[in-house]
Amino acid sequence: MSNRALSSRPFSYIRWDLKRLGIFTFLLALALLACNPSAQAAQVSIGWEASNGPDLAGYKLYYGTASRSYDYSLDVGNSNSCTISGLEEGKTYYFACTAYDSDHKETGFSKETSYTVPVVPAAIPAESIYEDAEDGTTNGWVIYDASPDGAALGNVFDAECDSRVIEVKSSGTDNGFRLGNGSDGGCYSKWNNTDQFTIEWRMQFSDFFYVFVDVQTPSGRVYLYYTPEDRNKLGTGSTVHYGLGSRTTDGTWQKVVRDLEADLKAAQPKQSILSVNGFLIRGTGKIDDIKLR
């Protein structure tokens, strides 16, 4: 029986002979009334049919994670419902009820009902920002190709943007700079983003550049790379090329948005992206607001 079904009708009925307690025979039904799972814990409301016994003083609810072996009990008084909170995601809980009279003489357990707390998936953020330069550092960046000498990487204030940006300086396109995950004490590590495959960045360049996006596929690593050309070379191996157009080197700030999955499949239809792992660039210019969504 599904949890939804449990929430809409009684789970079970049991007839008890309670004359020895001065309580006349009555029907007891346990039902799951509602549940409210959250990211960390959940709560469930339990209800049962009230007794007509003249000496009924109250009820106790028992529950735990093993059938007929209850870790917890709750005296709910004369109420015929209660809410249990603090339940853990993914676990199954078992519930049973007893009744007691004014001398606190207690019946045996009712029939049992159970409930499995749903696992609530973690919310995927609308976007993951990997660089906006506002921390004033270059954490997460490395110069992966420092030959010839003179490669420079900095976090600078840009008056036109009225914000901080990342500036890279290279000997032509000979030097390479890579952005990974800057959360590891300033060291490089992979993004390993398995949910967001659309990349966006802003750039200001006046000369030729290469931008690479490192993606993992079932067949291995592939670099999707972009240049200021007016044609697409595509590719069937470990690199796939797209031209962003010559206007991207006109010295103005421009925003680039690419659907990485679509770019990969246009060149290699049988491939798919498992994760996006980093952003690399060769050339001299400024870059900002690198994000996945």
47-61 pLDDT, tens digit per residue, is 887 777 778 899 999
What's the longest Cα–Cα distance across the chain? 96
Q: pLDDT at position 41, please?
A: 63
Q: pLDDT at position 34, please?
A: 44
| Alpha-carbon distance values, 128 to 125, 195, 216 (Å) | 7, 10, 18
167 close to 286: Cβ distance less than 8 angstroms: yes
Amino acid at 286: K
Q: pLDDT at position 39, please?
A: 40
For tokens 């659309």, what's the residue?
198
Q: pLDDT at position 19, please?
A: 36
* Predicted confidence (pLDDT) per residue in 197-243, tens digit: 999 999 999 999 999 999 999 999 999 999 999 999 999 999 999 99
Fold category of 128-292 in CATH:
Jelly Rolls (2.60.120)
pTM exceeding the 0.85 threshold for the entire prediction? no
Domain with CATH 2.60.120.260 in the chain: 128-292
Q: Mean pLDDT, the chain, as a whole number?
A: 85
The secondary structure of residue 231, as a DSSP letter, is S
Which residue ranges in the chain fall short of pLDDT 70? Answer: 1-41, 181-188
166 close to 141: Cβ distance less than 8 angstroms: yes
Three-state SS at 162: coil
Spatial CB neighbours of 41, under 8 Å, sequence gap ≥ 6: 85, 86, 87, 88, 89
**Buried-state track 13-30, b at ≥16 Cβ within 10 A, e below 16:** ebebebeebebeebebbb
3-116 maps to which CATH number?
2.60.40.10
Q: pLDDT at position 188, please?
A: 58
Domain with CATH 2.60.40.10 in the chain: 3-116
